[in-house]
Amino acid sequence: MKSLRRMILAALGLTLVVVVLGAYVRLSDAGLGCPDWPGCYGHATPAQAVSQIRAAESVQPGGPVSLPKAWKEMIHRYLAASLGVLIIAIAIQSWRKRREPGSAPRIATALIGVVVFQGLLGKWTVTLLLKPAIVTGHLLGGLTTLALLAWLALRAFAIGRRPVPNGLLATARLGLLLLAVQIVLGGWTSTNYAALACQDLPLCHGEWLPDTDFGNAFHVVRELGMDADGELLSQQALTAIHWSHRAGALVVGSYLLLLAVLLVRHRALRALGAVLSLALVAQLGLGIANVLNSLPLPLAVAHNAGAALLLLVLVAINHALARDHASRPALGSTHANAYA
């Protein structure tokens, strides 16, 4: 079981690196650094495709293809492929250890399916030229992988249970769902390049309710930067995307703050409540700083990393509460077990 735990921790750390590096690749406009898949102009490394890369760069200087961008993209692919191999090994080992406490072979097997689909999304991200729906789906696939690996790690290292109040599990589950929705909004904002559609705070274009176009903003099947009719996406549509993410941050942030307060009130959950509070404040602060400083790359990447860390905290909270809930005997079961 010790080797399985080590593999799960290694995969969890590698997934976090892949998610954050993926955000860096996207935010530095390197997503098409190698415009084919899985190689780079048919080669295993950009070093073997220097002539093709230079030719593309000469046609479009400052465009999506350059040698540095190609290396960013390919390093991300190498790490993602390594993660896929590691997850397959985890699934195999989980089935071998399926009778030991803490093993979850079904979740490990489900992870293989997630990673395979994630690989396809990575391919389509390139071959379909950064379609917002595909890029956002790719981000969500990475975070789903992170969440499932976190659950595996928590299960593998699970320790004693402590009683918690009834109803708190449902509250935490709703918090995780709301965070997932907010992450979708954040991914949609980033992939549509709408992060600076509103550059003032707390207003947007000097108004609480700016002029928006929600119809085109959230039309899923379309090209990057285009509306459903193939016209350039309007400023009103970009504003709608940004404003929705900002409003979501207010709603979800308020709810998670309430959850943190409820957790802190109980000694067994105080540490989780404190960590949730710190992660939430940091993430909100990074969001505000990105707007005020016109989206510098380090802050933008940190904001993506903050979302991943906040997701890990919510998964840990739900795992702790779910384990306690599962440990409670049903009414009358104590007496029944006494005679078993």
Catalytic residues: 73
Closest among 314, 48, 303 to 175, alpha carbons compared: 314
The neighbour count for residue 34, using CB atoms within 10 Å, is 28
SS3 109: helix
Phi, psi (degrees; rounded to nearest 5) at 142? -65, -40
The neighbour count for residue 325, using CB atoms within 10 Å, is 14
CA atoms within 13 A on the CB side of 237: 18
Alpha-helical regions (H) of the chain:
2-27, 50-59, 67-96, 105-127, 132-156, 168-191, 214-217, 235-264, 270-292, 297-327, 333-338
Q: Which amino acid is at 65?
A: V
Q: Using CA atoms, how far apart are residues 166 and 171, in angstroms rounded to an integer? A: 10
List own/partner pairs for 202-210 with CB under 8 A and 24 or more apart: 204/239, 204/242, 204/243, 204/246, 205/239, 210/239, 210/243
The neighbour count for residue 16, using CB atoms within 10 Å, is 18
- Say whether the peptide bond before residue 329 is cis (omega within 30 degrees of 0): no
